[in-house]
Amino acid sequence: MQNHAEVPAACLAHVQALLSRRAPRVVLGLVGPPGAGKSTLGAALHAAFADISVVLPMDGYHLANSELQRLGRAGRKGAPDTFDGAGYLALLERLRRPPVEGETIYAPEFRREIEEAIAGAIAIEPHHRLVITEGNYLLVDEGPWAGVASLLDEAWYVEVDEDLRNQRLTRRHEAFGRSQEEALQWVAQTDAPNASLVASTCGRAHRVFRWGEGLLVSSKEMRST
């Protein structure tokens, strides 16, 4: 695991530059396939800007297990249609409005130990000028996800070695109750298709982030210059 001391200073300076704008709130999106390290980077940035930041994972919008069972999607948990994408979009739209004095905006949080989301677990206060939102589908251009990118000040695509990413996923699934065989099967049959979809959105990111290298200019940024 990384920590905030390992986030390159240039990355922190870039975030500070975003915050120096007059906008009352900056929404930074971290996107990447499962196991890329989005949560780790989000936590590191939050530690660096602790007084004014909050982390808002897209995972809080997982549909409940009972609803996935009803819809016949339990075996594909983590795919785009197993989230309340419209609900996530609505929250981002609310966050783009000027903060109201004294108003707290609540968001759900996904708890891996119970594999369910808990409503109202994340408090977003008016002083949280930096909202770090992370998830797989922030740059997907279909369904409700298509509206997300325009609500982000920037989107960073988090890249990692593919073998390392799969190892992380396997260990994660084992840590939360699956056997090694079940974990490997889930990575191959469920995580892999989702990862391919996410990888296809990389070109829409403003920057690419790699541990040890920091922020790299993305193909989108190159096209705009």
pLDDT in the model for residue 142:
95
What's the CA angle centered on 165, arms 116 and 176, to 5 degrees? 30
Range of the domain at 113: 4-224
pLDDT in the model for residue 150:
97
Interatomic CA distance for residues 66 and 53, integer angstroms? 33
Write out the two tokens for 28: 């930074």
Residue 42 near residue 57 (C-beta atoms within 8 A)? yes
Other beta carbons within 10 Å of 211: 17
pLDDT in the model for residue 4:
42
Helices (H), the chain: 9-19, 38-48, 65-71, 85-96, 162-175, 180-186, 192-199, 219-224
Residue 24 DSSP class: S
The radius of gyration of the chain from alpha carbons, rounded to an integer in Å, stands at 17
The count of structural domains within the chain is 1
pLDDT in the model for residue 2:
41
Interatomic CA distance for residues 119 and 113, integer angstroms? 15
Residue whose C-alpha is closest to residue 201's, from 222, 187, 220: 220
Residues 6+ apart with CB under 8 A from 124: 54, 56, 95, 104, 105, 106, 107, 131
Write out the two tokens for 135: 């998830």
Interatomic CA distance for residues 39 and 134, integer angstroms? 7
Other beta carbons within 10 Å of 133: 27
CA 62 to mean position of chain CA atoms: 13
Model-wide pTM > 0.85: yes
Q: What tens-digit pLDDT sequence spans the chain (225 residues)?
A: 344 447 889 999 999 999 998 789 999 999 998 888 899 999 999 999 999 999 999 999 999 999 999 999 998 899 999 999 999 999 999 999 988 889 999 999 999 889 999 999 999 999 999 999 999 999 999 999 999 999 999 999 998 877 777 677 787 777 767 888 877 776 677 778 888 889 999 999 999 998 878 888 766 665 565
pLDDT in the model for residue 217:
73
Half-sphere exposure of 44 (CA within 13 A, CB side): 20
pLDDT in the model for residue 20:
95
Q: Which phi and psi angles does 123 have, rounded to 5°?
A: -100, 125
Write out the two tokens for 158: 């988090």
pLDDT in the model for residue 6:
77
CATH number at residue 84: 3.40.50.300
Residue whose C-alpha is closest to residue 154's, from 28, 10, 23, 17: 28
